[in-house]
Amino acid sequence: MKLGIRTRITLLMAALGVLASGLTGYYAYRSSQTLLAEAAEREMLTSTRVLGRRLTLNIREAAKEATLLAELPATQAVADLPDASSHAIAARNNLARIFESVLAIQPEYFQIRLIRADRHGLEVVRIDRDGTNLTRVDGAALQEKGHFSYVFRTLKLKPGETYLSPIFVNQEQGAHTGQGQPTLQAARQVFASNGRLYGLVIINIDLNGLFDLLKADLPPTLGLYLTNAEGDFLIHPDPEQTFGFQRGRRILAQDVFPPVGDIVGGKAGYRVITLNNPPPLRGHPTVPTTAVFLRQPLGDYVSDDPFAIIGLSMPQREITRPTHTLATAILNIVFVFSAIAFVLALWMSRALTYPLQLILQAVGRVSTGRDLGELPLNRKDELGDLARGVAHMHTQIRDQMVVLDEHRRSLDHLSRHDTLTGLPNRRMFFDVLQQAIARAGQAGTQLAVMFVDLDNFKDVNDSHGHATGDRVLQVVAARLQHCVRAVDTLARLGGDEFIVLIESLDTQEPVTAIANKLIAQFKTPITAGAREILIGLSIGISILPEDGTDAETLVARADEAMYAAKMAGRNGYRFYSAPPGSP
């Protein structure tokens, strides 16, 4: 079914309207998704920094508590008094009550101890959290801890330094509530009043409580991650993925979120990560996810883990969920505007149909070379511009056709004439010669071909340059043209070779006369600039039909005769003479 112009314009303009509405809606939707993603990344990065500061503050408080307890007079009294004295027992009891008070007001601590530097790191005062109760471990239940790293690491500190242990799962026997729980230890040296290193005070921090505190204000759509300085997971949405290094299996954040490796290696302070195709690892994201990981220094402490890495993640579908309502609204808007675009397109197509049909008819006439006919040239709108453009185009096309015809004739002339001398070239000469042979055959007359070659022309080029040689060729062409008859054809075959066609011959006398005239013409030197150059001619002549009946044979035998003239001393002419025994 062939659609009319009105229908096509209606459909086109309606399609453009629908397309414009659709593209606007699409880019608005995509832009909103991008803005939401950027906002979510900023919010997650801010939240991660807040969580990091909260973690650092809690650790700082624990370190201050350890420092305060290590420097208490009650702690120093235990360090100064002999172990067996009644005063020492009272001092230890007093210190134990202080430890109990601290544990009572700090529910995230589950153990405080005073440990000696000697006697294999024997515990002196120890208070444990046991469920909801506080328990003092005393007497034979006190243990030697000198083989634990937190003891000898703390004892090697410089005065004023605080030891912060790596985060680990506590496996110490008798730890009560703390056994099997994520633990962080803050320790400080204890000195007697005479400056003697007595031991250390150490606080075991219950990180479950701290972790719950970190997660308390987070929405359920956010996943919280915490790793040590090497990337081992300490907090993970799947608890099975945590503390793998204590079970002989490293579960590293950089294996799941490769850019975290830059944070571990110190190349970056944070990374915003988008996982469009998460790796199929158990307990890790299985849908496209955006995550933020931040390097969080733990403080100016002596520690094997000077920093932790905190991360938050959110499925991308949760980030873009608010755009679903926007998408519905955008679709409704697109539908309304598309309907309006269709109505407007129908009205405008009707308004455009008549003048446009006139223009289309005029364009059709252009292709046939007829006059344009009626055009809406007086309109002041775009259709008037189009009509005037068509009229102008028609004028230009006619002018261009005239120019093209002139160019065609010029190119045809160039293709059949020598550009240097203006004489016919080889192609044109052979066309003329073949036509002359046909006419001579019909009239029963003869014709002659004179092959003219300049003597020693190469020496002119070598001695005076090609520019002088070109000038000499132009003068030669003019002199040759002057010598031949108006009915004869002079052509340049190329280089220093010229050829003359002499028609309508009854005898060879005109040929001889022309040859002598040519040779005589060149006894006068040619002036080229400031130079006078003497040029001689060697001419070979072939006659139709004695020397051949076709163009190629006549030219070839004239060429042979020319070489015979050169061999005879140059500056002369020779008729073709067939070798003995030739046909």
User: Strands, DSSP E only, in 279-400?
Assistant: 289-297, 302-303, 307-315
Q: Which of the listed residues 318, 338, 371 is the one where a domain comes to its end?
A: 318
What CATH number does residue 424 fall under?
3.30.70.270
Same domain assignment for residues 550 and 421:
yes
Query: What's the 3-state SS for 140-167?
Result: HHCCECCCCHHHHHHHCCCCCCEEECCC
Boundaries of domain holding 435: 417-575
Say how many domains are in the chain.
4
Average pLDDT, the chain: 85
Asked if 383 and 443 sit in the same domain, the reply is no
The pTM of the full predicted model, rounded to 2 decimals, is: 0.52
- Tell me what pLDDT residue 39 has: 82
Are residue 428 and residue 464 in the same domain, yes or no? Answer: yes
In terms of domains, do 444 and 512 share one? yes
- In-domain check, residue 3: no
List all residues 6 or more positions away from 379 whose beta carbon is below 8 Å from its beta carbon.
Answer: 355, 387
442 and 525 share a domain? yes
**SS3 assignment for 222-290:** CEEEEECCCCEEEECCCHHHCCHHHHCCCCEHHHHCCCHHHHHCCCCCEEEEEECCCCCCCCCCCCCEE
Is 4 contained in some domain?
A: no
CB 128 within 8 A of CB 111: yes
pLDDT, position 178: 66
- Asked if 477 and 498 sit in the same domain, the reply is yes
Identify the CATH number of the domain in which residue 291 sits. Answer: 3.30.450
Same domain, 180 and 276: no
Pair 86, 162 in one domain:
yes
Residue-wise pLDDT for 454-476, tens only, equals 998 888 888 888 888 889 999 99
What does the alpha-carbon distance between residue 330 and residue 458 come to, in Å, rounded to a whole number? 85
Which of 56-60, 473-477, 551-555 comes out lowest in average pLDDT? 56-60
Answer yes or no: is pLDDT of 202 > 60.
yes
Q: Could you say which of 204, 233, 254 is where a domain stops?
A: 204
Question: Comparing C-alpha atoms, which of 108, 121, 66, 245 is closest to residue 171?
Answer: 245
- The H or E element containing residue 117 is none
pLDDT score of 284 = 58
Closest CA to 541 of 494, 488, 502: 502
Catalytic residue numbers, as ranges: 496
Residues 403 and 423 in one domain: no
Query: How does pLDDT run across 207-257, given as a tens digit for each residue?
Result: 777 777 767 777 778 888 889 889 998 888 888 888 888 888 888 888 888
| Residue 385 and residue 297 in one domain | no
Q: Is the pLDDT assigned to residue 283 strictly greater than 60?
A: no
Is 80 exceeded by the pLDDT of residue 162?
Answer: yes
Asked if residue 582 belongs to a domain, the reply is no
